[in-house]
């Protein structure tokens, strides 16, 4: 049979590598698996969970299954040895954090910002992270709250570059935005160490001083010839908000540099999904809901959408704890509602849609 011929088969006969000929719908209004997707073992598990009896596939796919859809989930799940790639990424990440800590200590001692040394410290992990979004959730699991500043700086560099890449920025500019992310908190080197190391919430006076860090960062960078205007404004404006409610200058979205709008979303997302000395971290799902609803109008919705699209990749197959304490496995996420996936409960094996259960939400993602 020639490539492209459609045939209906029983799901018991489906195998990884076959290509879906039509969008597949289950208990949702949006396709569970899209047309032209190369089926994987994970897809076959979904077919079984939803008790789908028949599917339409393209016949004779052996030579062209990768050509069917270069953006399919199969393409995203490679390379050949993901565990090796994961280990390599975390090695790069830890080394970048280590080098950042040395640089920051120098800045605290009064040394000028060495942009070239910082770029060398982060470039490899940023390049790897922008192409492999699944690593972004992994890097957050090793964040040390006692060294939060260093981990946050490197994480912000990686996530900002990833967002820029998804928005269509050229690769070189993505690295510039990653640099801006790494430099966002360089002004913290001019804040009192007692404030930086405080274990609890800051009082009003301490908070006022802390909010000066973006101005300090701007002043540290403005005379450096290697720092481009977008990076400089990104550092200054990364705490500004679309509705003008941010700081230090309360600049509205219409006057914000595009880099700062990316950095604002990435910074808040990472801060809320990281554990701090004075509060526990929130799950990515909860954070996205907060940013979309409770903080609506403060962030560029297009950039939040990039984060939510990325969340689908970050959390594929994740084990989660729901707000009622039950443990479950995410089996499917609708594109329109990534924070409200379909979950199979561990104890009862029941499948529930969080879109239909507004009383529940994902409390945390589990990593054991």
pLDDT at residue 3 in the model? 41
pLDDT class for 63, splitting at 50, 70, 90? Answer: very low
Tens digit of pLDDT for each residue in 279-291? 777 777 788 888 8
pLDDT class for 150, splitting at 50, 70, 90? Answer: very high
Tell me what the pLDDT averaged over the chain comes to.
83
pLDDT at residue 59 in the model? 67
**Homologous superfamily assigned to 82-281:** Hypothetical protein af1432 (1.10.3210.10)
Tens digit of pLDDT for each residue in 289-332? 888 876 678 999 899 988 887 766 556 567 888 989 999 988 88
- Same CATH topology for 6-77 and 82-281: the answer is no
Residue 297 near residue 168, CB atoms below 8 Å: no
Shortest CA distance to 152 belongs to which of 263, 269, 271, 262? 271
Residue 185 near residue 152, CB atoms below 8 Å: yes
**Homologous superfamily assigned to 6-77:** Molybdopterin biosynthesis moea protein, domain 2 (3.90.105.10)
Q: Report the C-alpha gap between 164 and 157 in whole angstroms.
A: 11
Where exactly are the structural domains of the chain?
6-77, 82-281, 316-366
Tens digit of pLDDT for each residue in 244-278? 999 999 999 999 999 999 999 999 999 988 877 66
Collect all residues with Cβ–Cβ distance below 8 Å to 67 and sequence separation of at least 6.
Answer: none
Between helix 258-272 and helix 171-183 the angle, nearest 10°, is: 60
Q: Report the C-alpha gap between 179 and 157 in whole angstroms.
A: 6
More confident residue, 367 or 32: 32
Collect all residues with Cβ–Cβ distance below 8 Å to 78 and sequence separation of at least 6.
Answer: none
Q: Report the C-alpha gap between 313 and 109 in whole angstroms.
A: 41
Tens digit of pLDDT for each residue in 85-114? 557 888 999 999 999 999 999 999 999 999
- The angle subtended at Cα 150 by Cα 141 and Cα 365, nearest 5°, is 15
Average pLDDT, stretch 213-232?
95
- State how far Cα 120 lies from the chain centre: 23
Residue 253 near residue 261, CB atoms below 8 Å: yes
Structure tokens belonging to residue 303: 């950039």
pLDDT at residue 69 in the model? 42
Structure tokens belonging to residue 287: 């954070």
Residue 89 near residue 135, CB atoms below 8 Å: yes
Residue 237 near residue 254, CB atoms below 8 Å: no
Q: Between the CA atoms of 228, 229, 232 and 238, what dihedral angle is there, to the nearest 10 degrees?
A: -120
Phi first, then psi: what are they for 161, rounded to 5°?
Answer: -65, -40
- If phi > 0 it is left, if psi is from -120 to 50 it is alpha, else beta; for residue 4 that is left
Please tell me the total number of residues recorded for the chain in this structure: 368
Shortest CA distance to 165 belongs to which of 262, 48, 240? 262
């Amino acid at each position: 049979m020639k490539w492209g011929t459609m045939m209906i088969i029983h799901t018991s006969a489906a195998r990884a590598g076959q290509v879906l000929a039509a969008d597949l719908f289950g208990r949702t209004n949006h396709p569970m698996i899209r047309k032209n997707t190369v089926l994987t073992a994970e897809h076959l598990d979904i077919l079984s969970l939803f008790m789908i009896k028949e599917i339409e596939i393209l016949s004779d796919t052996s030579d062209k299954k990768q050509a069917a859809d270069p953006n399919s989930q199969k393409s995203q799940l490679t390379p050949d040895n993901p565990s090796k790639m994961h280990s390599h990424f975390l090695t790069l990440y830890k080394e970048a954090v280590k080098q950042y800590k040395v640089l920051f200590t120098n800045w605290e001692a009064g040394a000028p910002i060495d942009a070239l040394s910082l770029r060398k410290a982060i470039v490899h992990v940023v390049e790897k992270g922008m192409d492999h979004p699944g690593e972004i959730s992994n890097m957050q699991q090793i964040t040390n709250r006692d060294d939060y500043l260093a981990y946050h700086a490197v994480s912000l560099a990686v996530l900002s570059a990833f967002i820029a890449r998804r928005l269509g920025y050229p690769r070189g500019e993505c690295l510039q935005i990653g640099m801006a992310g790494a430099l966002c908190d360089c002004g913290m080197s001019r804040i009192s160490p007692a404030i930086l190391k405080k274990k609890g919430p800051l009082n009003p006076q301490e908070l006022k001083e802390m909010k000066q860090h973006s101005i300090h960062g701007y002043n540290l960078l403005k005379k450096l010839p290697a720092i481009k205007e977008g990076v400089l404004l990104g550092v200054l404006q990364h705490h500004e908000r679309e509705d003008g409610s941010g700081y230090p200058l309360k600049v509205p979205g219409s006057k914000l540099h595009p880099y700062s709008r990316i950095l604002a979303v990435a910074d808040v997302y990472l801060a809320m999904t990281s554990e701090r000395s004075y509060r526990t971290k929130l799950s990515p799902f909860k954070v996205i809901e907060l940013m979309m609803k409770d903080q609506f109008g403060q962030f560029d919705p297009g950039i939040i959408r990039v984060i939510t699209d990325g969340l689908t990749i970050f959390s594929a197959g994740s084990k989660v704890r729901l707000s009622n304490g039950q443990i479950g496995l995410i089996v499917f996420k609708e594109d329109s509602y990534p924070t409200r996936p379909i979950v199979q409960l561990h104890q009862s094996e029941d499948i529930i849609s969080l879109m239909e259960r507004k009383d529940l939400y994902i409390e945390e993602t589990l990593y054991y």
